[in-house]
Amino acid sequence: MNGHPRAGSRQSALTIREATGADLAAVRALCMQTLEPVDLDDTEGLERLLWRDPDSDPRMNLVAEARRELVGCVFGSARDYGKGDGLIGFIKLATVRPDARRQHTGTQLLTRLEDILFDVGATCIWAGGSEPRYWWPGVDKVNTTASAFFSHAGYVPVTDVANLRVSLTRPRPQEASPPDGVVSRRLSRREWPQFKIWMEEEWGAAWRDEVELTLDRSPISCFVSSEDGAYIGFAAYDTNRTGWFGPMGSSPHARGKGIGRLLLNKCLDDYRARGLSDCVIAWAGPQDFYRGAVGAEIGREFVRFRKITNKVVA
């Protein structure tokens, strides 16, 4: 522990405590005041991320109060992905009211969350990117204040990632018919028990859990392809945020058959039917594929910051 204020302690009239359901309205108002409009396009999804994340222990959700007013908050989570890296910690949201900045409010919130995450055994902490439930892949490159804040707190930039943007007003690209025997359809709730087994075996538990969020959408926002009764591909959208596409994947033996392009366009057709003029391909992987398939262009770019210890080096 680093001697920073604990829950319920005060420093400069600041109280840091665990967030409760009674804080929901105040946290919502804080986000409306401090976040960019582009990050408030799905407030219901944001609140689900903050308050109903099974990877988030209640101790990891903290608020700061001054004079009985909520002036800041930080929400975290931790997950073991089963890849030998142990428990990984995340900062899902950290924000402070403008008039409470430059008073160490953010630093005290962050340090308290770090202590909790490292105490429960996290081997490192990432700023953003808390898949399968996340709002940002990392820290937005244009937010130099946030980058400086995390750098000052000992976080190191590890890699760059990007969202892509797709115009939905362009003519829909033509695509080849799928091979004989390949069936593509919207995922149904009744097949989820079977489908989730394939998802975990082929893509891992994180993507499985992210795609499970599509079951809460109406209609279910996931399409699948199968061949001879076996799943060979999937594409999901609106998992965490409305208007965001992904994840998507095709089995290695099925690649090159146009399955990915077909499933991608089924999802984008749903967006077009809703009257959207564009959408986001979140945390995009094979960018060349999306450029060629639907004319995707670079949108917001992010830096992934990581911290591996909260110990002060003398």
Rg (C-alpha) for the chain, rounded Å, is: 21
Query: Pick from 268, 186, 253: which is nearest to 224 by CA?
Result: 186
Residue 282: inside a domain, yes or no? no
Domain check: are 122 and 203 in the same one? no
Count up the domains in the chain and report the number.
2
Question: What is the model's pLDDT at position 310?
Answer: 67
**Gap between the Cα atoms of 314 and 47, Å rounded:** 40
Residue 313: inside a domain, yes or no? no
Per run of 10 residues, the mean pLDDT along the chain (length 314 residues) is 35 86 97 96 95 97 96 98 96 96 93 98 97 97 96 97 96 75 95 97 97 97 96 97 97 87 96 97 93 95 93 48
Q: Which two tokens stand for residue 312?
A: 């002060």
- 10 Å CB burial of residue 83 (0-12, 13-18, 19+) is exposed
20 Cβ neighbours under 8 A, 6+ residues apart: none
Domain check: are 104 and 180 in the same one? no
Residue 2: inside a domain, yes or no? no
Domain check: are 174 and 145 in the same one? no
Residue 94: inside a domain, yes or no? yes
Q: Decide: helix, strand or coil at residue 80.
A: strand
Q: Report the sign of the C-alpha dihedral through residues 208, 210, 211, 217, in that order.
A: positive
Residue 118: inside a domain, yes or no? yes
Residue 165: inside a domain, yes or no? no
Q: Report the sign of the C-alpha dihedral through residues 245, 265, 186, 257, in that order.
A: negative
pTM of the model: 0.91
Residue 1: inside a domain, yes or no? no
**Residue 182's CATH number:** 3.40.630.30
**Enclosing domain of residue 244:** 170-276
Question: What is the model's pLDDT at position 313?
Answer: 43
**Gap between the Cα atoms of 19 and 17, Å rounded:** 6
Domain check: are 156 and 15 in the same one? yes
